[in-house]
Amino acid sequence: MGVDLIDHMGNDDSIVRAARVSSGTTGSEAANKGLINMLARDRHGSPFEAVTLQFKIDVPIFVAREWFRHRMSSFNEVSGRYTVLEPVFYVPSITRPLRQFGKPGAYSFEAGDYQQQLIARSAAIRVGNSSWEEYTYQLDQGIAREVARNVLPLSLYTSFYWTVNLRSALNFLSLRWAHPDSTVPTFPLYEIERAAMQVEAAITNLVAPEAMKAFNVNGRVAP
């Protein structure tokens, strides 16, 4: 999963300024950290919207379609109507769990055996290659890109820009990473969870470490 933080506006200080707008005061570093923790703990969420993030995301189409369900953000995706797509297809890694157990809403997954890994990986490669041949053949025959693309599978990679405020990003992370510190159960798709880990690392390391600390300390519930 490709996740790159392209741009951002604001940081931990932006959250503090937004929260203190009524008092017009400034606090010490320790007081500001405590304020951010209180906001996360008591779910005073609007100050977290003072931070805006823009990511460049490269994921298979089946992952993007789950990502787009997070509607409190904006997306600009590459269009197969206007450009010839790239032949990049998702192939499950050997660490990807393959066996599914349980019932809807409470599935668990376990690693498959060697034979299952071989079947899953071979099928992904075979379908990717054959669909790409059909796609490029149609283009060579002068068929419009918006028609030719219809033969391509969900494993094809797509690219999009994701613009989101920090509050909505925390909602995304609370749902798309079954983190051991989460107090609310969630059952994310394996691939989107890998991407969510990268999103969180970027925010923690580059933008708002105190906000992310408060998010984790308070059960990973979006404010």
The answer on pLDDT for 106 being more than 80 is no
pLDDT on residue 110:
85
Q: What is the percent of the chain with per-residue pLDDT over 90, rounded to a whole number?
A: 84
Instruction: Give the start-to-end residue ranges of the domains of the chain.
Output: 2-77+157-217, 99-151
The Cα–Cα gap between 16 and 116 comes to: 51
In terms of Cα–Cα distance, which of 149, 156, 182 is closest to 62? 156
**Amino acid sitting at position 65:** R
* The residue type at 83: T
pTM: 0.91
The CATH number for 2-77+157-217, chosen from 3.40.50.450, 2.60.120.1270, 3.30.300.20, 3.30.1360.170, is 3.30.1360.170
Average pLDDT over residues 101-123: 87
Residue 139, pLDDT score:
98
Would you say residue 121 has pLDDT above 80?
A: yes
Q: pLDDT averaged over the chain?
A: 94
Residue 202: alpha-carbon gap to chain centroid: 12
Which residues are CB-contacts of 114 (< 8 A; sequence separation ≥ 6)? none
223/213 Cα distance (integer angstroms)? 13
Q: Tell me what pLDDT residue 3 has.
A: 98
**pLDDT of 101 above 90:** no
Mean pLDDT of 44-61: 97
Catalytic center residues? 176
Instruction: Report the alpha-carbon distance of residue 20 to residue 18 in Å, rounded.
Output: 6
Identify the band that residue 55 occupies on the pLDDT scale cut at 50, 70 and 90: very high
| Interatomic CA distance for residues 23 and 26, integer angstroms | 9
pLDDT at 134 over 90: yes
Name the pairing type of β-strands 157-165 and 52-60. antiparallel
pLDDT of residue 22: 78
23 pLDDT higher than 80: no
The string of pLDDT tens digits covering residues 143-178 is 999 999 999 999 999 999 999 999 999 999 999 999
Instruction: Look at residue 111 in the predicted model and tell me its pLDDT.
Output: 87
Does pLDDT of 54 surpass 80? yes
Q: Phi and psi of 181, rounded to 5°? A: -90, 0
Confidence band for 53, pLDDT divided at 50, 70 and 90: very high
Confidence band of 91 (pLDDT split at 50, 70, 90)? very high
In this predicted structure, what is the pLDDT of residue 43?
Answer: 94
